[in-house]
């Protein structure tokens, strides 16, 4: 298992030199952030990012994410040009030694939370999701939730949601299939592994379809193009936000089939209503048995990339909620410690 750390480029308050000092850190996961969604990533931009990372003694082998334009998800006539651009980005990333591309197919909204600063009993703050808050929102009156106003103006969001009124789960599946059948042959050709991120949280929101939310969805997705290049970013915190999802079982099944290329390791505290908040990575702090999840990866012979996913904000740290240095660093060390302990117990490293 190759441990990595999410880094948001030169604007990230966490310096690469600090990330390098985390024991067991293989590299960082990053992206090109100055190219509009839908346009091809220039080779020079990728080369510059890679050179910056490698100059600090870290590897750049995973990209998270290459965004999928909404026109592709909607199945609009413009999608062919946009998919051609996406394929160009894949080729350019392969030229720079990238091995895995993480992406998602969530309509309109990426990961969704109702609070970015939920205060826990120990004084730390974390990301939380409350179903009652979501269900009470009247889209006609606008949206006022953390981070949601950054991507679209109110009129743009209203127009986009109107377009999705004609897109149900069946249509979204068809559009995903069209996308995969275009990009996976390119990924195979250049040696890239695509790794789709599940819906976060794994439930419909505002009537928008969500189609990567449980085992059945993952099986269906992998069967669209049954090739190792069509794989998963298995996010324990996203899928684990549903009580119905057995994360260790998923890891054993899909890592055993060599279809998990990127592991997001995050713990959450959940209830039957679908509410959750993110906790420290330790098994005792959340609803997920992280020790069992890591053991499942080890038993499956997982040799891919992993990262400690969102962390709490602790020790007075400020910055991008969920992406502070301290708690994620603690998480990385904890996860590497679990891996080493399991390896020694089994007599192999």
Q: What is the pTM of this model?
A: 0.95
Alpha-carbon distance of 87 to 349, in angstroms, equals 37
Reading the chain (349 residues) residue by residue, the pLDDT tens digits are 999 999 999 999 999 999 999 999 999 999 999 999 999 999 999 999 999 999 999 999 999 999 999 999 999 999 999 999 999 999 999 999 999 999 999 999 888 899 999 999 999 999 999 999 888 887 766 666 665 555 667 778 888 889 999 999 999 999 999 999 999 999 999 999 999 999 999 998 888 999 999 999 999 999 999 999 999 999 999 999 999 999 999 999 999 999 999 999 999 999 999 999 999 999 999 999 999 999 999 999 999 999 999 999 999 999 899 999 999 999 999 999 999 999 999 876 5
What pLDDT, on the 0 to 100 scale, is given for residue 157?
81
> Could you tell me where the beta strands, DSSP code E, fall in 120-218?
125-129, 193-196
Alpha-carbon distance of 115 to 117, in angstroms, equals 6
Q: Given CA atoms 268, 269, 275, 277 in this order, what sign does their dihedral have?
A: negative
Kindly write down the DSSP assignment for every residue of 22-90, as one continuous string: STTEEEEEE---SS-TTSPPPHHHHHHHHHHHHTTT-EEEEEE--PPPHHHHHT-TTHHHHHHHHHHHH
Kindly write down the DSSP assignment for every residue of 216-250, as one continuous string: HHHHHHHHHT-STTEEEEEEHHHHTTSTT--HHHH
What pLDDT, on the 0 to 100 scale, is given for residue 223?
98
Alpha-carbon distance of 71 to 153, in angstroms, equals 17
The closest alpha carbon to 36, from 86, 94, 1, 102, belongs to: 86
- 28 phi and psi angles, rounded to 5 deg: -120, 160
Cα 67 vs. chain centroid, distance in angstroms? 11
| CATH 3.20.20.150, applies to 2-345 | yes
Beta pairing partners, 306: 3, 263
What pLDDT, on the 0 to 100 scale, is given for residue 156?
80
Contacts within 8 Å (CB) and 24+ apart, 280-286: 280/311, 280/312, 280/327, 280/330, 280/331, 281/308, 281/311, 281/330, 281/331, 281/334, 281/335, 282/334
What pLDDT, on the 0 to 100 scale, is given for residue 95?
98
What pLDDT, on the 0 to 100 scale, is given for residue 121?
95
What pLDDT, on the 0 to 100 scale, is given for residue 109?
87
- The catalytic residues are 197, 235, 264, 309-310, 323
């Amino acid at each position: 298992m190759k441990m990595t750390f999410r880094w948001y480029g030169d604007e990230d308050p966490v310096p690469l030199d600090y990330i390098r000092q985390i024991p067991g850190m293989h590299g960082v996961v990053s992206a090109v952030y100055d190219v509009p969604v839908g346009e091809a990533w220039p080779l020079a931009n990728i080369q510059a990012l890679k050179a910056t990372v490698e100059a600090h003694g870290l590897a750049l082998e995973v990209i998270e994410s290459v965004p999928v334009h909404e026109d592709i998800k909607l199945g609009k006539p413009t999608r062919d040009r946009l998919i051609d651009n996406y394929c160009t980005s894949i080729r350019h990333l392969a030229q720079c030694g990238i091995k895995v591309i993480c992406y998602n197919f969530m309509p309109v909204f990426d990961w969704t939370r109702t609070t970015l600063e939920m205060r826990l009993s120990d004084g730390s703050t974390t990301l939380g999701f409350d179903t009652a808050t979501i269900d009470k929102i009247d889209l006609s009156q606008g949206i006022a939730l953390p981070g949601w106003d950054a991507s679209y103006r109110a009129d743009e969001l209203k127009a986009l949601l109107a377009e999705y009124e004609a897109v149900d789960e069946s249509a979204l599946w068809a559009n995903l299939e069209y996308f995969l059948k275009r990009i996976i042959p390119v990924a195979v050709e250049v040696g890239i592994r695509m790794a789709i991120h599940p819906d976060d949280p794994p439930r419909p929101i505002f009537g928008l379809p969500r189609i990567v939310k449980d085992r059945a969805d993952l099986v269906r997705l992998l069967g669209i193009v049954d090739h190792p290049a069509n794989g998963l970013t298995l996010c324990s915190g996203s899928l684990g936000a549903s009580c119905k999802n057995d994360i260790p079982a998923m890891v054993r099944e899909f890592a055993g089939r060599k279809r998990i290329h990127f592991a997001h390791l995050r713990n959450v505290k959940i209830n039957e209503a679908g509410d959750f908040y993110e906790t420290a990575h330790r098994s005792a702090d959340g609803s997920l048995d992280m020790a069992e999840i890591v053991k499942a990866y080890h038993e499956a012979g997982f040799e891919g990339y992993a990262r400690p996913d969102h962390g709490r904000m602790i020790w007075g740290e400020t910055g991008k909620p969920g992406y502070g240095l301290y708690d994620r660093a603690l998480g990385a060390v904890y996860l590497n410690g679990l891996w080493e302990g399991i390896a020694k117990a089994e007599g192999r490293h």
